[in-house]
Amino acid sequence: MEVEVKLRLKDATAHHQLTTTLLSPFHVKTLHQHNLFFDTPTSSLSSQRAVLRLRFFDKDARCIVSLKSKPTLVDGVSRVEEDEEELDPAVAKDCVENPSKLYDIESRVVRRVREEFGLENGSALVCLGGFENVREVYDWRGLKLAVDETKYVFGTSYEVECETEDPEGAKRVLEEFFNENGIAYTYSEMTKFAVFRAGKLPQ
């Protein structure tokens, strides 16, 4: 179970202030992510609250396949069952071009998708598309923060994520920090995948 605090930043100004001023001394790394999602034409996975994703890093230098299921997002705290593993990026790129090849690779995650979500009969898979994400990672006050700039075809959103075993405590510390420094934010109400599927940014 992955547990994260998710706070949506109001705009690019808040993102800029946070990344270039307030958190810059604590910067660890920058990740360029390309996220692509897969389902059957009849939405077999989405209808069961499951998401199959290929995430490419830094111009296809790495790829991770992940299965997320049973997500909840309440008051800025996300809980989701997640399983993931590394894939050869070249193999993964072939799967983007021909999603049925996902069934041919040796992958625990894909095997779970087939067995647990009723795709054993070889149900066709299609690539739904996806979005780009620039993730700035910080070690700050004992927390690992990910500040995301997510670029959809219909707009850009900004979000802070913090994976933690104490979500209420982490959320309280972040809220105090944001309020002290005038960072405009709200609780995230939708996952990035849900925003992508909705085709518009949250209001």
Question: Taking 70 as the threshold, does the pLDDT of residue 121 lie above it?
Answer: no
Task: Say how many C-beta atoms besides its own lie within 10 A of residue 61's C-beta.
Answer: 9
Mean pLDDT of 101-107: 91
Q: Which helix (H) or strand (E) holds 147?
A: strand 143-152
Q: Write the DSSP assignment of 62-125 as a string of letters.
A: EEEEEEEEEEEEETTEEEEEEEEEEE-HHHHHHHHHSGGGGGGS--HHHHHHHHHTT-TT----
Place of tokens 């923060």: 145
Residue type, 88: D
Question: Given pLDDT bands bounded at 50, 70 and 90, which one contains residue 120?
Answer: confident
Instruction: Give pLDDT, residue 126.
Output: 94
> β-strand 50-57 against 185-187: which pairing, if any?
unpaired
Question: Given pLDDT bands bounded at 50, 70 and 90, which one contains residue 45?
Answer: very high
Q: How far is 159 from 47, CA to CA, in rounded Å?
A: 26
Binning the chain into helix, strand and coil, the percentages to the nearest 5 are 30, 45, 25
Task: Say how many C-beta atoms besides its own lie within 10 A of residue 74's C-beta.
Answer: 9
Please name which of 99, 97, 105 lies closest in space to residue 45, comparing C-alpha atoms: 99
Instruction: Give pLDDT, residue 60.
Output: 87
Q: How far is 116 from 16, CA to CA, in rounded Å?
A: 42
Q: Which residues pair with 161 in a beta bridge?
A: 6, 146
Q: What's the full length of the chain, in residues?
A: 203
Mean pLDDT of 51-65: 95
Average pLDDT of the chain to the nearest whole number: 95
Please name which of 123, 54, 37 lies closest in space to residue 92, comparing C-alpha atoms: 54
Q: How far is 142 from 4, CA to CA, in rounded Å?
A: 15
Q: Looking at 102-116, 145-159, 175-189, which range is the least confident one?
A: 102-116
pLDDT tens per residue, range 13-36 = 999 999 999 999 999 999 999 999
Question: Taking 80 as the threshold, does the pLDDT of residue 200 lie above it?
Answer: yes
